[in-house]
Amino acid sequence: MTKPVALLFDVFGTCVDWRASIARDVAKAALAKGKRFDFFAFADDWRANYQPSMEVVRSGKRPYTKLDTLHRETLVELLGKYGLPLSEPEIDDLNFAWHRLDPWPDTVAGLTRLKTRYLLSPLSNGNVRLLVDMARHAKLPWDTVLSTEVFKGYKPQPQTYLGACDMFGCEPGQVMMVAAHNNDLLAAQKLGLQTAFVARPTEYGPHQKVDFAPEGEWTLVARDFVHLAELLDV
């Protein structure tokens, strides 16, 4: 293989553990109101509306809308379902739990090693501000923060992958997409990007049904980000 110039990372599930982090912040908000329920179920429900809410944008039924806005709409519904009354500022704060997601244990160590040789950026459906705040919170050492927001779309729309390559001044073959999701890698591969699969078998907790293993001819398959650095000779 020819070494890539730049690595693009899926973020939710690949770099950070959204489920545990969201459950934690939901717990904090609920317990402050004397409410108890299954905080992980709340996190799962929130995430369950992720693809449907983006699909309305991808299909053209709705103009580009930031993920922060989509997340907040889902949150308001769930606060009703779970019986957790919050003020508008409290809703805003809980919605920003997605800006405060914790990294997997290997994420920062792996990225730090990879940065010694490769340009690094997220390519996430999270909006720029979400990813910038998360980079500060989780100490993710990005060179820049590319979001699909920059391309006014959502993965797997082609302009998001190709736009990111263009911003790095690279041909698709000079860029590697890193993700824990086979469908993300498939979309990138079809456009000519290199691909690396890193399994995150606990992303969805006990409900995980897919992505336990690579399901395509990916350029690399790594156990974690430190292993990815080893495979990429850094």
Which parts of this chain interact with a second copy (CB under 8 A)?
A: 66, 68, 119, 127-129, 131-132, 135-136, 142-145, 149-150, 167-169
Q: 144 or 183: whose CB is closer to a second copy?
A: 144
Burial of 87 (0-12, 13-18, 19+ CB in 10 A): exposed
Minimum gap (Å) between residue 166 Cβ and a second copy: 9
CA dihedral 175, 176, 181, 186 (to 10 degrees): 60
Q: 59 or 116: whose CB is closer to a second copy?
A: 116
Minimum gap (Å) between residue 143 Cβ and a second copy: 5
d(CA 77, CA 189): 36
Q: 9 or 142: whose CB is closer to a second copy?
A: 142
Minimum gap (Å) between residue 18 Cβ and a second copy: 19
Q: 119 or 176: whose CB is closer to a second copy?
A: 119
Minimum gap (Å) between residue 170 Cβ and a second copy: 8
End-to-end CA distance of the chain: 15
15 closest CA partner among 160, 130, 92: 130
Torsions phi, psi for 138 (to 5 deg): -95, 0
